[in-house]
């Protein structure tokens, strides 16, 4: 009798344990169907600092591969997530490939233009074309581009002539341009300007004028190209941060008296800031 009771108790215990067995739902067949993901879409937001936030979405997807289009390493993104990438200024084709667990894929390419600068002056767009105030024996004119090749194919540019054959300029001669609206530096304090000179070693001084507070700020850069356009970068003092300026002055061959000869004729174009 005791043996029968023990057998019955054992059967009841086994039955109770079976009723408590954990059921795991690991069915992932919805991403392993042999059918490529559908409804692939990509949202891209780019900040003024050039940081892009890329968010892909799709149905029936296990992962995304994001190719940034600037020869950098691609990124793997899981559904519901995004990835960020820092771009230099330019236009890029961002490719996103959505895959399911079987390897079936769908691809989407999206073009983005990254602008991290603010154009202050060019001589082809009326809104960005300005006259200049000259001082110290310098002349200014808007003229045809002397070499519309390379990095500058603009039709028109600015021309500075320092001094003349009959009258030497001051060493500090230059021009001042006042922009229609003040411009502000948030953090970088960088100015870029395309220049053309007939010789290597020309000295360019760029001075920020009409500050909202504090003093003016200036810095020098030496040209490295003869008879061709190059883009110079002026890194301004950190004190420009959070300050606005109403214009700027350009000095060509600063520190020298000009006589109007070819060595004292310089061209400039496409002045922009990276705030």
Contact between 258 and 202 under an 8 Å Cβ cutoff? The reply is no
Confidence of residue 131 (pLDDT cuts 50, 70, 90): confident
Kindly write down the DSSP assignment for every residue of the chain, as one continuous string: -HHHHHHHHHHHHHHHHHHTPPPP----GGG-SSS--EEEEEEEEE-TTSEEEEEEEEES-SEEEEE-SSSS--EEE-TT--EEEE--SEEEEEEEEEE-TT--EEEEEEEEEE---EEEE-SSSGGG----EEESSEEEEEEE-S---TT---SEEEEEEE-BTTBPPPTT-EEEEEEEEEEEESS--EEEEEEEESSTT-EEEEEEEEESSS--EEEEEE---SSEEEEEEEE--GGGBTEEEEEEEEEESTTS---SSGGGEEEEEEEEEE-
Give the pLDDT confidence score for residue 186 in this predicted structure: 83
Domain residues of the chain, as ranges?
A: 31-114, 118-274
Interval 164-192: pLDDT, tens? 999 999 999 999 999 989 999 987 799 99
Confidence of residue 25 (pLDDT cuts 50, 70, 90): very low
- The yes-or-no verdict on residue 202 having pLDDT over 60 is yes
- The yes-or-no verdict on residue 42 having pLDDT over 80 is yes
Interval 143-158: pLDDT, tens? 999 999 999 999 999 9
Give the range among 13-17, 143-147, 210-214 with minimum mean pLDDT.
13-17
Topology (CATH level 3) of domain 118-274: Jelly Rolls (2.60.120)
Pairing of β 156-162 and β 265-274: antiparallel
What percent of the chain lies above the pLDDT cut of 90? 77
- 247 CB-near residues (< 8 Å, 6+ apart): 176, 177, 178, 179, 209, 210
Query: Average pLDDT in the 204-210 region?
Result: 97
Give the pLDDT confidence score for residue 32 in this predicted structure: 56
- The yes-or-no verdict on residue 6 having pLDDT over 70 is no
- 251 CB-near residues (< 8 Å, 6+ apart): 172, 173, 174, 203, 204, 205, 206, 207
Instruction: Please give the structure tokens belonging to residue 164.
Output: 């003349």
Contact between 76 and 65 under an 8 Å Cβ cutoff? The reply is yes
Give the pLDDT confidence score for residue 19 in this predicted structure: 47
Query: Average pLDDT in the 46-52 region?
Result: 88
Alpha carbon of 4 to those of 7, 10, 161, 207, 209: distances in Å? 5, 10, 117, 104, 105
Q: Which CATH number fits domain 31-114: 1.10.8.640, 3.40.50.2000, 2.60.40.10, 1.10.357.10?
A: 2.60.40.10
Query: Average pLDDT in the 12-30 region?
Result: 47
Give the pLDDT confidence score for residue 257 in this predicted structure: 98
Give the pLDDT confidence score for residue 28 in this predicted structure: 52
What percent of the chain lies above the pLDDT cut of 70? 88
Q: How many Å apart are CA 52 and CA 49, to the nearest integer?
A: 9
Give the pLDDT confidence score for residue 48 in this predicted structure: 79
Query: Average pLDDT in the 208-229 region?
Result: 96
Give the pLDDT confidence score for residue 4 in this predicted structure: 46
Query: Average pLDDT in the 270-274 region?
Result: 94
- The yes-or-no verdict on residue 9 having pLDDT over 70 is no
- The yes-or-no verdict on residue 7 having pLDDT over 80 is no
Give the pLDDT confidence score for residue 23 in this predicted structure: 44
Query: Average pLDDT in the 79-97 region?
Result: 95
Return the closest-CA partner of residue 119 out of 186, 60, 181.
181
- The yes-or-no verdict on residue 8 having pLDDT over 60 is no
Give the pLDDT confidence score for residue 49 in this predicted structure: 80
Give the pLDDT confidence score for residue 266 in this predicted structure: 98
Give the pLDDT confidence score for residue 33 in this predicted structure: 56
Arithmetic mean of pLDDT over the chain: 89
């Amino acid at each position: 009798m005791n043996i029968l009771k023990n057998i019955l108790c054992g059967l009841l215990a086994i039955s109770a344990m079976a009723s408590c067995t954990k059921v795991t739902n690991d069915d992932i067949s919805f991403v392993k169907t042999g059918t490529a993901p559908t409804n692939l879409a990509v949202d891209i937001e780019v900040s003024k600092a050039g940081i892009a936030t890329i968010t892909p979405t799709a149905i029936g997807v296990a992962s995304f591969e994001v190719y940034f289009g600037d020869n950098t390493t691609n990124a793997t993104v899981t559904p519901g997530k995004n990835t960020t990438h820092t771009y230099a200024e330019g236009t890029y084709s961002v490719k996103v490939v959505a895959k399911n667990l079987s390897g079936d894929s769908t691809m989407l390419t999206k073009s983005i233009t990254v602008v991290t600068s603010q154009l202050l002056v060019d001589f082809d767009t009326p809104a960005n074309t300005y006259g200049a105030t000259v001082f110290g024996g310098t002349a200014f004119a808007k003229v045809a581009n002397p070499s519309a090749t390379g990095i500058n194919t603009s039709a028109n540019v600015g021309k500075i002539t320092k001094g003349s054959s009959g009258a030497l300029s001051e060493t500090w001669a230059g021009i001042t341009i006042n922009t229609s609206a003040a411009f502000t530096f948030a953090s970088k304090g960088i100015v870029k300007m395309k220049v053309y000179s007939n010789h290597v070693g020309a000295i360019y001084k760029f001075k920020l004028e009409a500050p909202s507070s504090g003093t003016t700020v200036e810095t020098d850069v030496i040209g490295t190209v003869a008879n061709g356009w190059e883009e110079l970068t002026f890194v301004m003092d950190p004190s420009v941060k959070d300050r606005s300026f109403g214009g700027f002055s350009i000095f060509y061959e600063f520190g020298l008296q000009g006589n109007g000869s070819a060595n004292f004729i310089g061209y400039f174009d496409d002045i922009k800031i990276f705030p």
